[in-house]
Structure 1
Amino acid sequence: MSERRTWAPWAMSAPSLLLFAVMLAVPLLLTTILSFNVYNVDSGPVAGSFTLEHYVHIVTDSYYYEIFWRTLWISGLVTLICIAIGAPEAYILSKMRAPWRSIFLLIILAPLLISVVVRAFGWSMLLGPEGLINDIFRLVGIGPVKLLYNETAIVIALVHVMLPFMVIPVWTSLQKLDPSVESASLSLGASHFTTLRRVVFPQVLPGILSGSLIVFGLAASSFAIPGLLGGRRVKMVATLIYDEYLHELNWPLGAAIAFVLLAANLVIMLGWNRMVEGRYKKTLG
């Protein structure tokens, strides 16, 4: 009987574990193996070969440093902006009553129903030289401002795309907050700011952590928006991988860049997770 109980959880988890292995683990393993293959200009990747040349090339070439740094700082900036906008937005949403809460929640989630490519083209029309934003600048006498094919356009569009992924985790954390605790703090003479800082903020910190990890990971690996709004000069790592795979046909180098991006993401996200969780436990303690 005890042996059956031991195997029951594994048997129930087997379908999801199999799906995980087929859809994620196996492709990741094959990509890692490909990154160590020798690349021949005439015949392409040489199966069964082994070399560290691609990783050495990435580490020693300042061109890759520039692109990785651009990708990481843009992703970090997008995450911070999403926290600054999304956390207050989720707090206001939690204070709304029906039916306004459902209406505004639908408005927040509505962009997720539209393709990222469509949204990127929409932002290109708004930010272009003849777009609506520059038309407003002309009316106030500022003149046309270059907002397209630069880091500014990428940050604006990524914030628009990633904001729902910040709002939802924070709003979910707020649903677990007992309203009487906040009322008790106010009744004891604490200001609204002190209540938000010492009562509400520690409770929503796990939601902010979850949202920031999702936003940073998706922003760092984003392809459509940097490709359409950044142009050919403002490259991020995802567009660089695309170029290596489909333009240069150097699949091993593209796989090596992808693996380095994955490793960098994991290091940053695990470090951020440990720092925020440490502060959360210190606050509760």
Structure 2
Amino acid sequence: MKRFSKLAVPYIIWAALMLVLPMALIAMYSVMEPGNSIISFSLTLDHYIKFFTDPDFLLILWRSLLIAIKTTIICLILGYPAAYFIARSSEKVQNILILCITIPMWINMLVRTYAWIGLLSEGGIIQRILGIFGLGDVELLYTEGSVLLGMVYNFLPFMILQIQTSLSKMDHSLLEASADLGASPAQTFRRVTLPLSLPGVINGITLVFLPAVSSFFIPKLLGGGQYFLIGNMIENQFITVGEWNFGSAISMIMAVIMMLLMMLVRKIETRNQGGKGAKA
């Protein structure tokens, strides 16, 4: 075992250089005053105080969390039935359907988002279709709805694949036993299928919510700069304004929020598994 443990050394070095070191630099910048030199610098919490005392920044944070929650809920509502249908299909059909879901993911997410600009823009296909029903004047692009649509489109496959994996691993003899005991299909789903699929649901929620809350190019492209989220704010601080210290502080705040949410999700998953073990 000790001999094989040496194989992890390259990964540890890579993780230290690519993950730990950048995060350490961001954390250092977040508590430094602008203009400090590497040799001599003073620490400050003014950047964090600035964020939490400005209502505009808190509003942007709340808006980002809200649209991430909406994205996650919509992906769950759309993704669970799709995953359930795929899991109940034959193996051949499952492979075809999973391939249909994963093929668009082979294309860069930025390119796929640009495609939605053409579909939603004035004179685009969707607006022409709406024009048939007399709704051609409806504004589709550069709205909260267009941003939400772009996020759901890009992150929905993560929800479907996670839930489908959990449902495929489920022991189907449990469903037969439930039916033999007189349970209706609805009761079987509520008491057997749904509890067993919760690990996939929780993983899907994690994979959708975390990138949605920090996304910046989807709101920038489909929101047209009119729908400003926390990811756009961080990008703006680094690239446009040049306030790296304040941008680093916002990045650290988001990192802490994400870690806390991940810990909460994992705690719920552990509690759920413990509950199932107790019932068994």
- TM-score, normalized by the shorter chain, greater than 0.5: yes
Q: Give 3-state SS (helix, strand or coil) of 2:34's partner.
A: strand
Contact 2:151–2:212, Cα closer than 8 Å, also in 1: yes
Q: Residue 144 of structure 1: CA displacement?
A: 2.0
The answer to whether the aligner puts 1:263 opposite 2:256 as a matched pair is yes
> Aligned residue for 1:128?
121
User: Which of 138, 158, 178 is residue 185 of structure 1 equivalent to?
Assistant: 178
Deviations 1:112-142 (A, max 9, x none): 1111111111111222232222222221123
> Aligned residue for 2:89?
96
Give RMSD over aligned pairs: 1.8
> Aligned residue for 1:140?
133
The answer to whether the aligner puts 1:63 opposite 2:56 as a matched pair is yes
Alignment partners' CA distance in 2, 1:54 and 1:46: 18
Deviations 1:159-182 (A, max 9, x none): 111111111221211222111111
Unaligned ranges ≥5, structure 1: none
Q: Residue 202 of structure 1: CA displacement?
A: 0.9
Q: TM-score, normalised by structure 1?
A: 0.90
Unaligned ranges ≥5, structure 2: none
User: Which of 213, 226, 231 is residue 206 of structure 2 equivalent to?
Assistant: 213
Q: Give 3-state SS (helix, strand or coil) of 1:182's partner.
A: helix
Contact 2:219–2:225, Cα closer than 8 Å, also in 1: no
> Aligned residue for 2:20?
25
> Aligned residue for 1:227?
220
Q: Residue 283 of structure 1: CA displacement?
A: 4.9
Aligned residue type for 1:23: M
Alignment partners' CA distance in 1, 2:111 and 2:173: 44
Alignment partners' CA distance in 1, 2:91 and 2:48: 55
> Aligned residue for 2:265?
272
Contact 2:75–2:156, Cα closer than 8 Å, also in 1: yes
Identity %: 33
Aligned residue type for 1:26: L
User: Which of 103, 106, 127 is residue 110 of structure 1 equivalent to?
Assistant: 103
Aligned residue type for 2:33: V
Q: Give 3-state SS (helix, strand or coil) of 1:99's partner.
A: helix
> Aligned residue for 1:237?
230
> Aligned residue for 1:81?
74
Q: Give 3-state SS (helix, strand or coil) of 2:20's partner.
A: helix
Q: Residue 269 of structure 1: CA displacement?
A: 2.9
- The number of aligned residues is 276
> Aligned residue for 1:155?
148
User: Which of 23, 41, 45 is residue 52 of structure 1 equivalent to?
Assistant: 45
> Aligned residue for 2:168?
175
